[in-house]
Amino acid sequence: MKLTPPSGALPYRTTQSFKIILTLCILLASLPVFNVCAEDAAVDEEAMFQKRRDIAVALNYCRASFHRIRKYPNEQVMREEEQKILNNLNLNGIKNAEIIRLYTEVLDEIGQIQLTEKEAELYDGKYKRSLRQEMAFDSLSVGLDLLTAQYIGAVKTGANSWWDYRNLKWNRDNEVFKLEKTRVNSVVKKSSTFLDTFWKMTQEFEIPDRWLVRSTDLDDLEQAMNEENLETKLRILKRMEPYMECYPPYWYYVARTQQESGDLTASLSSYDILANLGTQHFRRDDMLASAFANQAVIQAYFGRPEAIQTARKALAFSTEVWEANLMCARILQQSGQLADAEDAILRNLDVGLEEEQSAVTLLTFYYDTNNTKKLAHYLGDEKMLARVPPPVLIRFASRLNEEETPGQIWTALASSMRVYPQVGFGSDDVLLACHPVWRIDRSKLVLEREDGTQVQGEYFRQGDYDVIRFAKVADFGGVLTGPSKLPRLKLELSYGEIDPIHLAFSDEALPGEKIAAQTTASTRNATEPNTYHLIAAQWGEREIAYVPSFPRTASLYESLNFNPTAANFGQKANGEIKSASQNEGDVPDEADTKIR
């Protein structure tokens, strides 16, 4: 019998199709829910990954700090590790009361150990000597190496921080800093308990073993960072990567080594890894301030616009990395953000950070931006003036007009260089004695007579002075009567491929030379012996405005008394005499000596 569906009912096949369509609609409607759940799971997994890595990084910092205290058990190392790492580490993500309690006990134990004033002074001397050895620039060349980011030498040098000097080796037998064993054992015991408890936490969170550094790894890293050959150092560091993955200082050292080697692209990548590894581990992070400053310098060298933002990041991480402050100031200045650039430099001077380089940098900033009002103001400050080498001072002063030029400038120049005629039989020699702040050994000099002929000189060291001897310059008078006639002399100094400096000397000011005509009385006291005085100074084509009333007996630089030893110049010269017109005294090309 043939059955027929009742009226209005769907055929069998139609019913099956309806079920399929209904099922598909339900599945399609539920897809967004499945996607949301998957996304939430991915977010949770990423958050847990980040938390586990942060725990590993925090433990690695603690282990590295305690390892250094054990290895170099002296008060200064403890003070450094407490200030820079242990008491600066952000442990907000560690929700473990036992770990926080033990951590606090270690800090309290270290805090009870105080440096005496003498010990702190001795340490500061060691640190500063090490810093001077590491730096490739000084106040004489700061205008090029530190402030001009487009020069590859400055880019490779970069900005250092405390972390660059942390791996300097200490003498374990140093009696001055040695602690009582009971104090050391107490710190070591509490730090060991803390690390053991912290280690158990890593097991709870299933932190991979490769993320955690060991004491042997830290020893290897210290040894690598004391390797002088950059290529060898970089090879050793790269081999350590598998077990240094979550130790930020490792990536900092890799980036700095690549930067010093000139591999700037690789260095940028390593700085990116360092930034991604974590920027919230310290409340004040000197390492990241230096890292971002170096990254900004490299980006500026490549002409990348993000250099400005990177420089601002560097300044936000710490105010105490003086080299980073100056590097970032230059980048901000080049982008036209002058107020921020000035403030970055003043960060150093306001709290006494490396005042010599910072003072020169600030004056260079005013010179470059043609702010003669502030330039004149600071050049009239004797404390500021004493930090500026005379060649750089001449450059700055050449930007000022006569009304703006402080008399102290001429005091500084005249008191830092003297010309002595050596009277004998026939043509006499001239000795030029300079204060070390001139860095004559890094210059080329030539003396010019009144008739235009030039005399080459010979450089030697005489006690505290740099001395140049110019032979057979002129006949100055009799041996018994002393110098009676002193022809005008001109001196040309060149520091690298820049405008030369011209100085003029006479026993009295001469009219008709762009400077005011002076009487003998105003230039030389009647009771003084007949001798040479500085009467003119010039940077390239720009002459310093002459100030007739400047004090001639004062000295702004560290006092050196020329007159009592003038007769002995040349009698006990230190070391080999060199030609003052050649480059034997120059520093290597890597440390550029230009003044800008």
Q: Is 122's pLDDT higher than 80?
A: no
Q: Is 400's pLDDT higher than 80?
A: yes
Mean pLDDT of the chain: 76
As a whole number of angstroms, the longest Cα–Cα distance in the chain is 157
Q: Which long-range contacts (CB under 8 A, 24 or more apart) does 351-355 make?
A: 351/319, 353/320, 353/322, 353/325, 354/322, 354/323, 355/387
First to last CA, the chain: 112
For the sheet containing 542-543, what is the strand order?
454-455, 444-448, 489-494, 501-506, 533-539, 542-543
State the CB neighbour count (10 A cutoff) for residue 133: 9
**Which one, of 77, 87, 84, 83, lies nearest residue 119 by Cα?**
77
How much is the pLDDT for 236?
Answer: 96
Q: Contact, 557 vs 416, CB < 8 A?
A: yes
Q: What is the DSSP letter of 169?
A: P
> Mean pLDDT across the stretch 460-482?
80
Residue 281: helix, strand or coil by DSSP? Answer: coil
| Percentage, residues of the chain above pLDDT 70 | 67
* pLDDT band, very low/low/confident/very high, at 107 (cuts 50, 70, 90): confident
How much is the pLDDT for 248?
Answer: 92
Q: Is 95's pLDDT higher than 90?
A: no
* pLDDT band, very low/low/confident/very high, at 132 (cuts 50, 70, 90): very low
**Which one, of 491, 483, 428, lies nearest residue 456 by Cα?**
491
Token pair, residue 576, equals 């080999």
More confident residue, 364 or 576: 364
How much is the pLDDT for 84?
Answer: 82
Query: Crossing angle for the helix pair 264-277 and 286-301, nearest 10 degrees?
Result: 140
> Mean pLDDT across the stretch 269-298?
90
How much is the pLDDT for 478?
Answer: 66
pLDDT in tens, 16-66: 665 666 666 665 555 555 454 555 566 678 888 888 888 888 888 888 888
Cα–Cα distance, 476 to 481 (Å, whole number): 10
User: How long, in residues, is the chain?
Assistant: 596
How much is the pLDDT for 572?
Answer: 42
Cα–Cα distance, 498 to 594 (Å, whole number): 7
Cα–Cα distances in Å, from 82 out to 107, 110, 383? 7, 7, 34
More confident residue, 110 or 147: 110
Domain ranges of the chain: 122-178+213-369, 408-579
pLDDT in tens, 502-544: 999 988 754 334 433 333 333 444 444 567 888 899 998 889 9
CATH 3.40.50.300 fits 122-178+213-369, yes or no: no
Strands 417-422 and 444-448: unpaired
* pLDDT band, very low/low/confident/very high, at 556 (cuts 50, 70, 90): low
Q: Is 470's pLDDT higher than 70?
A: yes
> Mean pLDDT across the stretch 379-408?
90
More confident residue, 389 or 21: 389
Q: Contact, 374 vs 366, CB < 8 A?
A: yes
Q: Is 150's pLDDT higher than 80?
A: no
> Mean pLDDT across the stretch 191-215?
82
